[in-house]
Amino acid sequence: MFRKKLLLLGLTSVLACISIFASGTNEKENDEDSQVVVEIFHHKVPWIDAWQSMSEDYEATHNNVKLETEIVGGSSDWRTLLKTKFTANKAPDIFIIEGESDYQLWKDYIEHLDNEEWTEHLLPIAEESATKEGHIIGVPLTIEGYGYIYNKDLFEKAGITTLPENFSEMEKVVKTLKDNDITPFASGFGTWWVISNHFTNIPFAQQEDPMGYINKLNNGETTITDNPIFNEWKKSFDLVINNSEENPLTCDHQMQVSKLANNEVAMIQQGNWKQAPLYDTNKDLNIGLLPIFLGNDKATANRIPVGIPFMLCINSDSPENEKAAAKEFINWLLTSNEGKAYLANEFEVIPAYDNIEPSSNMGGVSTDILKFAQEGKTIPWTFSYWPDGAVNEFSDFAQKYVAQIDSFDQYLSNLQNSWNKLNK
């Protein structure tokens, strides 16, 4: 067994940028026993400990393989780092992508995986996401969803016995919480992906035909500025701004977890990837998930974004022995009893495969996500289809609105101008 070391990469204090390296040389060389080094790059920071244990267990039964994993997440710009690695000819053997925009960026470096054993077990939503141009190009690991994670005990303390199903009902919930001296939200707006990818996804995803709307944006046939759903979105945005911290931009995703887990706020905008950190902070936390409501039509407002957040791809330019070792590791993870147990019980995911049973203790947030999905009350993750670079610019524009630098009309104009510029 090879011991792993967690190395904190010194980027900034707000970056969660962690590497797990096998002991010994960091160079990609075969040692005297002809071991193959498989370099892996992903951004699931909450999985650090479980991934380390899994890697050690895998290496214990696969003596000819070293797994060197770099985990880059939190507030960091993982895409820029991955681009740098490819430019410097230091590309990993397994790397992460998030949907269509990333696929278009990396498709020349992505191995087709059509003949792998695990592909026959993909759930429909996972198979759809993993299939590009007629080929399976990536490895989905989990189904994720997000919305407002809420503290059930604080809702009960405020006398809230009926959950909201549209925006007007959510407004009443917020007022009731405040009347009982309970802060409704910790915004998380200091973290770019909270305010950009996830929050700004809502008005895109609530279009009658989200992908049709995006295609029309790309073709110049419609706009953001004149769209009634985007203009209605102001109410949802302002509800959080006006009922969270004095300065919402001071709250990042880690502070959200701390505040909700310590009963300081009633709700945070997050997903099931934050469930483990919440329970780690407060094992007795009683939580569930509500939609981020836009509008008052319960048929459309009472839905949550559910999707495949990312896929692991195998670098088609890696040497053949490293590609083979990477495929063997993925197959072990998705088909062996040991690998499947890690996914379900240690990573605490909603599995994207029909041969992996969800954990019976998957927690309140994941339980609610599964319920929304089973009832068909879902909307898509559209940010994977935004132009490359949009997520970063959209974050800046949203934060300027929160800081009252820009009006809401200017915010929408900024989104439109950015789309026009980047969609080339």
Q: What is the mean pLDDT of residues 220-249?
A: 97
Q: Where are the domains of the chain?
A: 4-141+310-355, 147-307+367-422
Answer whether 359's CB lies under 8 Å from 348's CB.
Answer: yes
Q: Return the pLDDT at 75.
A: 66
Distance from C-alpha of 379 to C-alpha of 364, rounded to nearest angstrom: 20
pLDDT in tens, 58-87: 999 999 999 999 999 766 789 999 999 999
Residue 24: CB atoms within 10 A of its CB come to 14
Q: For the chain, what's the residue count?
A: 424
Residue 218, classed as helix, strand or coil, is helix
- 4-141+310-355: CATH topology is D-Maltodextrin-Binding Protein; domain 2 (3.40.190)
DSSP annotation of 315: B
Helix spans in 97-166 (H):
100-106, 124-130, 152-157
DSSP code per residue over 89-116: T---SEEEE-SHHHHHHHGGGB---TT-
Specify the pLDDT at position 360: 83
How confident is the model over 103-108, as a mean pLDDT? 95
In angstroms, the CA 273 to CA 45 distance is 9
C-alpha span between 206 and 102 (Å, rounded): 23
Share of the chain above pLDDT 90, in %: 84
pLDDT at residue number 55: 98
User: Per residue in 170-223, pLDDT tens?
Assistant: 999 999 999 999 999 999 999 999 999 999 999 999 999 999 999 999 999 999
Task: Flag whether pLDDT at 12 surpasses 70.
Answer: no
Band (25; pLDDT cuts 50, 70, 90): very low
Confidence of residue 11 (pLDDT cuts 50, 70, 90): very low
What H or E segment, with its residue span, contains residue 68? strand 65-74
**Residue 207: what pLDDT?**
98
Asked if 4-141+310-355 and 147-307+367-422 have one fold, the answer is: yes
- pLDDT bucket at 392, cuts 50 / 70 / 90: very high
Average pLDDT over residues 404-415: 98
Please tell me the predicted confidence (pLDDT) of residue 149: 99
Better-predicted residue by pLDDT, 56 or 1: 56
DSSP assignment string, 202-261: HHHHTSSSHHHHHHHHHTTSS-STT-HHHHHHHHHHHHHHTTS-SSGGG--HHHHHHHHH
Determine contact, residues 106/94, Cβ cutoff 8 Å.
no
Determine the average pLDDT of the residues in 105-111: 97
- Mean pLDDT calculated for residue range 342-365: 91
What average pLDDT does range 8-12 have in this prediction?
35
Question: Is the pLDDT score of 3 beyond 70?
Answer: no
* SS3 call for 185: strand
The pLDDT confidence band at residue 384, using thresholds 50, 70 and 90, is confident
Express each pLDDT in 318-344 by its tens digit. Answer: 999 999 999 999 999 999 999 999 999
Q: How far apart are CA 293 and CA 377, in angstroms?
A: 13
Burial of 384 by CB count in 10 Å (0-12 exposed, 13-18 middle, 19+ buried)? buried
pLDDT band, very low/low/confident/very high, at 374 (cuts 50, 70, 90): confident
pLDDT of residue 281: 96
Say which amino acid occupies 305.
Answer: P
Whether pLDDT at 5 is above 50: no
How sure is the predictor about 303, in pLDDT bands with cuts at 50, 70 and 90?
Answer: very high
Interacting residues of 152 by C-beta distance below 8 A, sequence separation 6+? 286, 287, 288, 364
Q: Give dist(CA 196, CA 193) in Å, integer.
A: 5
In angstroms, the Cα distances linking 419 to 126, 199, 270, 386, 406 are 28, 17, 25, 8, 18
DSSP string, 10-65: -S-TTEEEEEEEESS--S----TT-PEEEEEEE--GGGHHHHHHHHHHHHHH-TTE
Q: Whole-prediction pTM value?
A: 0.78
**Is the Cβ–Cβ distance between 297 and 166 less than 8 Å?**
yes
The residues facing 265 across adjacent strands are 183
* CATH 3.40.50.880 for the 147-307+367-422 domain, yes or no: no
Average pLDDT over the chain, rounded to an integer: 91
For residue 141, the one-letter residue type is L
Alpha-carbon span 258 to 251, nearest angstrom: 10
